């Protein structure tokens, strides 16, 4: 489906991050239903965006796909490395509900930065 969209990939990725953030926020709420819905949204939609991001970056920069994706992948892998370290320390110090909320805030911030960066690059 992604290859059939003419544009709007970055906005879709940002939307996926926001829905994923809502799912992570639900993981801070006790109970089985918030857990199941939170896992589906947080890890289903919240982590389905990297493949779409690679596609969008290559579509936006077809003249240098390797260079373009190497830059974005550096950020993805830095976050994948540093995120668990920081969130683990947060969970140890303040508990898991605070950690899930911090992760949700980080995802919303990432969505906002992605939209801002996209707008700045299209000027």
What is the chain's pLDDT, residue by residue, as a tens digit (123 residues)? 556 667 778 888 899 999 999 999 999 999 999 999 999 999 888 778 888 888 888 888 889 999 988 988 898 889 889 999 999 999 999 999 999 999 999 999 999 998 998 888 776
Distance from CA of residue 60 to its chain's centroid?
Answer: 19
* Residue 101 domain boundaries: 2-121
Give the chain's domain count.
Answer: 1
CA distance 105 to 100: 9
The pLDDT score that the predictor gives to residue 29 is 97
Task: Read off the tokens for 49.
Answer: 């965006």
């Amino acid at each position: 489906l992604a290859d059939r969209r003419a544009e709007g990939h970055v906005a879709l990725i940002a939307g996926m991050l926001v829905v994923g953030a809502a799912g992570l926020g639900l993981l801070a709420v006790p109970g089985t239903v918030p857990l199941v819905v939170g896992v589906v949204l947080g890890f289903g939609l919240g982590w389905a965006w990297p493949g779409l991001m690679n596609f969008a970056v290559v579509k936006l920069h077809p003249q240098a796909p390797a260079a373009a994706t190497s830059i974005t992948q550096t950020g993805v892998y830095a976050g994948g490395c540093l995120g668990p370290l920081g969130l683990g320390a947060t969970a140890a110090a303040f508990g898991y509900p605070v950690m899930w909320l911090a992760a949700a805030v980080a995802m919303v911030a990432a969505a906002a930065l992605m939209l801002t960066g996209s707008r700045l690059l299209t000027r």
